[in-house]
Amino acid sequence: MVQVVDVPSMASWIASAGAEARIAGIADYIESDFTNWKSFDKVPRLAAHSRDGVIELMPASDGELYGFKYVNGHPVNPSRGLQTVVAFGMLSDVATGYPLLISEMTLLTALRTAATSALAARYLARADATRMALIGCGSQSEFQALGFRALLGINALTLWDTDPAALIKAEANLTRLGFEVRIAIDAADAVAEADIVTTCTADKTLATILLDEHVRPGMHINAIGGDCPGKTELDPHILQRARIVVEFEPQTRIEGEIQHLPAEQSVTELWHIIRAEAPGRVSDEEITVFDSVGFAIEDFAALRYVRDTLAAAEAGELDLLAAPADPKDLYSLVAASVSTPA
């Protein structure tokens, strides 16, 4: 039998400790797995692009466990009454190849994205940062805010989105969660007083939602919306004067903000900073950009955390594994249903 975490079970698991605690726990697991980066089999995610979006598989293994996530990104989906992103994942035992856990990962990906963002900011943002601007107030916005409060103590937010309904939704949810919220009149106004800027829009385009002239010395930019070829959010001039940190450079060169930069422009992978092989923020004036597209080790860590903290009552079971009495006699499971010729 394989443990199964469906959407109600995931929601119950999150509620049992609270979203902030779950994000912080996932961040700890990501930090641990990034510390062990060299032990992982790693590849850029496998993507199937279409006119309306992308479907991706994201595998990773540390030699003991194997994990993968199936995830889509379809910006047109909300107009159809559907989520932009849905996902599920699996964790398996490498020694036997048997699945151990199957989980929904739409909610879990929101938690792990927030955990990764806040973890990177803990190394890259100024220690005295107090206000974050959220540009893009869709499904990720509340989770990002909770993550930054959990790991950095950020409680003051400025919101901006071109969709008034998204702004109203985010303001209501975040105010209810105890954040100090200000609604901006445009992107420039949103970042005017911000120490940290999170950009998270969904359109699959080469957009520029944050201009170079808006970025002040000392700002940390958490760029999480550019996550496939042909989709960006930042003025390229920002990247030319900022220190850029990524998750897995071969993947980010394809999908991230850096996809159009020359190969010789250097970037730093986050695991080097976590392992103290490269510095985090080096001065209060430095501009830092976390060009995050999401990477499979983060999902692997999130699935491990779920498995390790899941109460028996919060998971179901699925009879997914054929188990004949004789392992070499798989046919025995169907023999009774097969008619014998007369």
For the chain, helix (H) and strand (E) counts, in that order, are 10, 18
Collapsing DSSP states into helix, strand and coil, what is residue 48? strand
Active site residues: 227
Tell me how far the alpha carbon of residue 318 is from its chain's centroid. Answer: 27
CA distance 223 to 211: 13
Residue carrying the six token digits 């850096």: 258
Q: How many alpha carbons fall within 13 Å on the CB side of residue 204?
A: 16
CA distance 52 to 76: 7
Contact 271, 202 (CB under 8 A): no
Residue carrying the six token digits 């002040």: 216
Q: What are phi and psi of 341, to 5 degrees?
A: -60, 140
188-193 long-range CB contacts below 8 Å, 24 or more apart? 188/214, 189/158, 189/160, 190/133, 190/134, 190/135, 190/158, 190/159, 190/160, 191/133, 191/135, 191/158, 191/215, 191/219, 193/131, 193/158
CA distance 221 to 254: 20
Residue type at position 303? L
Residue 298: name the closest of 13, 33, 107 by CA: 33
Residue 144: name the closest of 309, 31, 19 by CA: 19
